[in-house]
Structure formats: C-alpha cells, structure tokens
Structure 1
Amino acid sequence: MIHNIIKDKPTRLFIILGGFFIANAIIAEVIGVKIFSLEGTLGMEKANFTLLGESGLAFDLSVGVLPWPIVFIMTDIINEYYGLKGVRFLSIITAGLIAFAFVLFYLAIHTAPAGWWQLSQEKNGVPDMQAAYHQILGQGMNIIIASLTAFLIGQLTDATVFRTIKRVTGENRIWMRATVSTLFSQFIDTIVVSYIYLYFSLGFSFPRVTAIAMVGYSYKFTIAVLCTPLIYLIHGMIERYLGHEQAANMKKAALGMQKLS
C-alpha cells in the first residue's frame, strides 16, 4: 500500500511542494526576528526618505521576507494542480505546525540552563547564552498571533484570487494569475501583520505603521514581479515530470471541471 502511494507521481509532487511550503514558512517565522538593512546588504547608502510625514525611513526589513517568496510560489503551484482545497489543507497544517514550534520554543527557553553552557560563549562576545537564546527564540512570541493571522488570511486570499483569474484566463497567462494573486496576498499579509503587531501591540502611530507597511510592501511587490520567471520554470519542470496528459487532468480537477480517475 505505502509503496503504491509513494510511487504515485501526483502524491509525491504534493509531498515535495508541501515540504518546501511548510519548511520555508517555519524558517521565515524563526529567522524573522532579525531586521536587516537592504541598502547595507547591497552596499548602497541608506535611503533615508520621508513618507506620510514619517522621516528617516529606509528599507529595514525582517529577514523573514527572504524565504516568503518561495511560500507564495508554492501556493500558486499547489493551487494550479491541487486547487483551493490543497492550499487550504497545507495552510492549516502549516499554521498548526508553526504554533506547535513556538510552544516547543517556549518550553525550551524556560528549561534551567546548565551553568557552564550559559557562560560558554563569553570569549565570543556573548556573556549570557540563556539571555541570547531567549532573545532570539522568544522574541517571535510577541508577533505569533499577528503572524499566523496574516499568514492564513494571506494564503486564502492568494488561493482565491489565483482561482478566480484562472477561471477567466484558462491555461493562458500563468504570469497574470501567479503575480496578481501574490501581489494581493502580500498586500493583505503586510497590512494585517503590521497593524496587529506594530499598531495594536507596540503602539506605533497610524501614519508610522502605514509608512512602514508601504515600504515593506514595495519590496515584496518588486520580488513578486521578479519571481515570475521562476513560476514558469517550476511549471515546466512539473509538466515534464507528470506528463502533459496527467498534468492537464490535474489542473482541470483543481478547478472542479472534472474528477481525477
């Protein structure tokens, strides 16, 4: 039984796509506590611009934005071949696993540290490993509700917009449904996480939160457009892997046009 399941190409493909989807979502949550300077990373001067009356703004972003494009690409590919139910299924599982991971982080943080370990990195500039451990893994606890809410709303928005466009365009204009759905979902994701965390939790002013969200979204907008060729590359690889006939049947079934045999 298990051998037949593993040999089934659509099943293996779903596991592979789902694995990348889940892994990148969890990685983004864990590493996202670091804020990096995009300009500094690219060797450019800090932007230092004013937006909505908020001065001193720059492209200071969470490193969690690095793996998120892969999540949204996987969302579109999964939607293409497995439909809205496939995306919803993986999104719910991923949200549950992220919550589970943070529960384990909480428990790990609150275990009593061994004395020698706590002081083991003094020579490397880390005088208290327990404090460092708590700061890195525990900081994400503050935004877990905002992040999970934004993730679920964003994913369902992406899947719904993608499906709606595909019903109109059919098999044509992959770039349109992939890019537009990602732009919509990234916008929702950015707005939700920014206002829940920065406005309601940290008490930032409405104009400042809006300005920060606009800066973050401009980066995501650019990345979404640049990732469009990658959608075609992955799509072509899957077509060759499944075979055009099986791929066509799966895409029709994903739209509810026919049932897979």
Structure 2
Amino acid sequence: MATAVVEHPVENRAAKLFLVLAAFLVCNAIIAEFVGVKIFALEPTLGLEPLNWNLFGQSGSLSFTSGVLLWPFVFLMTDVINEYFGTRGVRFISWLTVALIVYGFLAAYAAIALTPAGFWVAVNSGRGVPDMQAAFSNIFGQGMWTIAGSVTAFLIGQLIDVAVFHRIRMVTGERWIWLRATGSTAVSQLVDSFVVLYIAFVIGPQKWPMSLFLAVASVNYVYKLLMAFALIPLIYLTRQAIKGYLGAHTAQQLEAAARVVR
C-alpha cells in the first residue's frame, strides 16, 4: 500500500507566505502597542513651526501617538492576508495578535516587579534619567485602561476590516484592489482611532476632556486614512511579488479560496 507523501510546511510556499505575513503583522502590532505610549508633535519633529491648528477648541502642534508610524503596515498585512487567505486567516491572526499583545504586557509587568540592581537605578543619571526603575515602569507599565483600550480597539477594527473587505470584494470581484483595501481601512480605523483613545484616556484615570479626545482622535484617524492611500502602490507591488513567489496558478487558487467567506 502506497504511503502518501506529506509536504513539509517549510517547503510549502503558501504556508511560508502566511507565516511571513502573519509574523510581520504581529511584530508591528506589538511594537506599536509599546511605543504608542509616547505622543509626539508633528511639526517640531519635522523641524517646522507649529501650525497652531484649532480643532474642537484645541490648538498647537498636531499630536499623534507614536504607534501611528507602524499601524499602516499592520493594515497592509491585514489586507494582503485577506486577499490570499480570507476571513479565517485574518481572524486567526487577529486573535493570535491580541493574545501575544497581552502576553507582552504581562512579561513587561513581570520585569517591572523584579527588584532592580542598585547600580542600575542611577546608571543613566548623567543622561537626565535619575531613576531607571521609575522610567522603565512608566514606559513599559502602561495602565490597564490603555492596554484594554488598545486590545479592544485592535480586535474590533480587525473584525470590521475583514467584513468590509469581503463586502466590497463581493461587489467589485477581482477589480479595484485599492478600493477594498482603503475602503476597509477607512471604516475599521474610524472605529479603532476613537475607541482606543476613549477607553484609554477618557474613561481611564487621565480623564481627558472630550475636546482633547476628539481633536487627537480625529488627527490620528486622518493620518491613518492618508497613509492608507499612500500605501496603495505598495499593495500592488506586494501582490506582484507574491504572484512571482507562488506562481500565477497557486496565487489564483488562494485568491479563489479566500473569496469563500467562512
């Protein structure tokens, strides 16, 4: 009786592609969560004078969470996974990402709880950091409201993204890749941008006034939307690279399977 030969996952190009896309998405999401605690001013970062914008009664420099630098690449990977591995692929990676983000924060809290070495606490006092333990705790020990807001917003945004992506795909077929990619991002990030800041900074202990919340959330959303359009060429380049890697036939098979909503 002949024994079936099972292809090793590492030798399967589709499996390796899914692994690489998923790893890049997860990596960017986790880094974005940790660096997102810093809010930066755009104009001084670019060496420009503040625009002194006035939005919802708030004025000054345009303010963003540092995580916005990486989230556009998370959206890009989400759309590419959606294109070739469908709803099940995106949902699996989304839940896995949430679990790993929570794991990352638990690891950070465990590290904070460790008793610091005496010499280490003041090791950077000459560089303006008199207490390394306090600095470490404040940067990596984000409050539970921030973590809850980030995880909730990410998961809701991802689930909305996959639903909108497939709804547009049902209408347009294989045409207009840019429309389903940017359209799904536009809807999902409208929810994501406002949910995360509302839970983290309005409901949470910082108690931002509603005007500040609306101003920062709106600016962050507009940035994400502009980046979604800016990344359209990269979507097509990534698609071409994947076709070259998988071969046209395998790529078409994956796309056909991804169209089946499960």
TM-score, normalisation: structure 1: 0.94
Give the one of 84, 94, 97 matched to 1:94. Answer: 97
Residue type at the aligned position of 1:156: L
1:235 is aligned to 239
The share of aligned pairs that are identical, in percent, is 46
- Please list, as runs of the form range in 1=range in 2, the aligned pairs for 1:83-122 lying within 5 A after superposition: 83-122=86-125
1:251 is aligned to 255
TM-superposed deviation, 1:57:
4.3
1:77 is aligned to 80
SS at structure 2 position matched to 1:139: coil
TM-superposed deviation, 1:222:
1.1
- For 1:210 and 1:105, the matched residues in 2 are separated by 30
2:33 is aligned to 29
- For 1:141 and 1:131, the matched residues in 2 are separated by 17
Verify the 8 A CA contact 1:49 1:58 in the aligned structure 2.
Answer: yes
- Please list, as runs of the form range in 1=range in 2, the aligned pairs for 1:200-239 lying within 5 A after superposition: 200-201=203-204, 202-239=206-243
TM-superposed deviation, 1:140:
5.4
TM-superposed deviation, 1:59:
1.5
TM-superposed deviation, 1:7:
0.5
CA RMSD across the alignment = 1.7
Verify the 8 A CA contact 1:72 1:182 in the aligned structure 2.
Answer: yes
1:63 aligns with 2:41: no
Give the one of 153, 164, 168 matched to 1:165. Answer: 168
Verify the 8 A CA contact 1:102 1:141 in the aligned structure 2.
Answer: no
- For 1:220 and 1:57, the matched residues in 2 are separated by 20
- For 2:211 and 2:35, the matched residues in 1 are separated by 27
TM-superposed deviation, 1:139:
2.8
1:151 is aligned to 154
Instruction: Name segments (4+ residues, structure 1) moved above 6 Å.
Output: none
Tell which deviates more after alignment, 4-13 or 217-226.
217-226
TM-superposed deviation, 1:205:
2.6
TM-superposed deviation, 1:167:
1.2
TM-score, normalisation: structure 2: 0.93
Verify the 8 A CA contact 1:48 1:55 in the aligned structure 2.
Answer: no
- For 1:128 and 1:211, the matched residues in 2 are separated by 33
Tell which deviates more after alignment, 146-155 or 156-165.
156-165
SS at structure 2 position matched to 1:218: helix
Residue type at the aligned position of 1:18: A
TM-superposed deviation, 1:196:
1.2
**Aligned residue-pair number:** 257
TM-superposed deviation, 1:198:
2.1
